[in-house]
Amino acid sequence: MLKVIISPAKKMNVENDLFLPRSTPHFIQDTQQIMKRLQQLTPGELKELWNCNDQILQLNLDRLSHMDLTKNLSPAILTYEGLQYQAMAPRIFEQHQWDYIETHLFILSGFYGLLRPFDGVVPYRLEMQARLAMDSHKNLYDFWGNRLYRRLVSTAAEGEDEAAVAGDTVIVNLASKEYSKAIEPWLLKDQKTGIPVKMITCLFESELPDGKRKIKATEAKMARGEMVRYLADCGSGDPQVMKSFTGQGYHFDEASSETEYVFVKPY
């Protein structure tokens, strides 16, 4: 089964005019723990943790002080508003695209762990790489451990057998390194023990005047969003369809490997 992973976005707003959430995040009890831990920190500690200016600090202090993980929720896919989500443009999806992401798309989150597109969430600020100690866990990677990966590879579509899905999973990695780091180490361990889980990481590179290539963060984020939209429109579970992607002016590099699809934008 094809499973697409993406990063969250820092910019968030409640958006439930289009439709209401359909599900509760799987790790909601863990999220409750994280929320309580954040509420124990001083404004100064939170500013350092969030690495933000005073305006963003005040916004998120207000959010945190009134946070209720059961009320005023909106679907995760509509709540995040960063460049990747703007390029994805889910608000104008057609029904077949909604159906596709409901089955295939997963959002990694430092706060919520692993989200499905229609899980109900509230706006928050917490990056996966934030140095937040949780009890005996030194950071969020340690706190989540292998649980996000295990949930990802065992989640079946309606009517599918979870055990069979876990042994026949292809993960399309459209997440930033910060978030894919929560998945990759555990996948490599499975591969070493013979469990056939495969991951294809998509890289979006721009050609420079001197002939070299560089990943431009803004353009790459937008390309990741367009790739989600492209896959949802194709409706295919075959990762090979990504080779025909031409969004944002990128094209597939035939020199790519089986586990790393490189897309190049000409200078």
Per-domain residue ranges of the chain: 2-265
SS3 30: helix
Split at pLDDT 50, 70, 90, the class of 167 is: low
**Which pLDDT score, from 0 to 100, does residue 164 have?**
46
Quote the tokens at residue 100.
Answer: 């596709």
Distance CA 108, CA 196 (A): 22
DSSP-H helix ranges across the chain? 28-39, 43-50, 54-65, 76-79, 83-88, 95-104, 140-144, 147-154, 162-166, 177-180, 184-192, 217-234
| pLDDT exceeds cutoff 70 at 159 | no
Closest CA to 229 of 201, 206, 248: 248
| pLDDT exceeds cutoff 80 at 117 | yes
In percent, how much of the chain has pLDDT > 70?
96
Distance CA 101, CA 233 (A): 10
176 neighbors 217 (Cβ within 8 angstroms): no
